[in-house]
Amino acid sequence: MRIVAGSRKGHRIVAPRGLGTRPTGDRVREAAFNLIGPVDDAVVLDLFAGSGAVGLEALSRGASRCVFVETDGAAERSIRTNLEKLHLTGAVVLRRDALDVLREEAAGGRRYDLVLADPPYEEWAKLEPRLAERLPPVLEPDGLVVVETAAKVEPALPLDLVVSRRYGSARITLFRP
């Protein structure tokens, strides 16, 4: 895997070994950022971050800050390794449950320009109602939520649907307040 664009374009990134993490591929990340548009100076929240590929891509493309949230230890170490290798600043890595972090960020009044949510595909149905409750309060009024699911899944959140596109086995769906 490589960073697709920005200041770290072409640099390789690592992902944890095994089946526990499904990194977002280069082509899907490129397509997602084509839909998202510029992220200059954005404050990003990368939930279910895995290898951190999407958040790393945002930092490379000019985001000012990214909070990576991941529960898996190997994935968290991969994120830290990638940040160090790429010399990216403005990052915080939390080894915590995404729903707990969302609740705490909302309670603390913290808002994000871009929220990335890429939970394990098989858990989307269980997570969707809880994410529907917890995502809107952490989103800036002109913010964007980007959800990656299995291609056959069409996520629904209490936000305005911007676009939903399939890319192989993945679906990228964008929402705005």
Q: Tell me which architecture the domain covering 26-176 has in CATH.
A: 3-Layer(aba) Sandwich (3.40)
Q: What is the amino acid identity at position 173?
A: T
Task: Kindly give, in sequence order, each residue whose CB lies less than 8 Å from that of residue 20, ignoring residues fewer than 6 positions away.
Answer: 72, 74, 75
Q: Which residues of 121-142 are buried (b: 16+ CB within 10 A; e: fewer)?
A: beebeebbeebeebbbebbeee
Q: In this model, does residue 11 exceed pLDDT 80?
A: yes
Query: Could you tell me the pTM of the whole model?
Result: 0.93
Helical H segments across the chain, by residue range: 26-36, 53-60, 73-86, 98-107, 124-134
Q: 74: buried, middle or exposed (CB in 10 Å: 19+, 13-18, 0-12)?
A: middle
Q: Which tens digit of pLDDT belongs to each residue from 14-27?
A: 887 754 555 677 78
Q: Which tens digit of pLDDT belongs to each residue from 90-125?
A: 999 999 999 999 999 999 999 999 999 999 999 999
pLDDT score of 174: 98
Q: Which residues of 154-176 are buried (b: 16+ CB within 10 A; e: fewer)?
A: ebebebeeeebeebeebbbbbbe
Provide, rounded to the nearest whole percent, the portion of the chain with pLDDT above 90: 80
Q: Which tens digit of pLDDT belongs to each residue from 144-162?
A: 999 999 999 999 999 999 9
pLDDT score of 25: 74
Q: Which tens digit of pLDDT belongs to each residue from 78-88?
A: 999 999 999 99
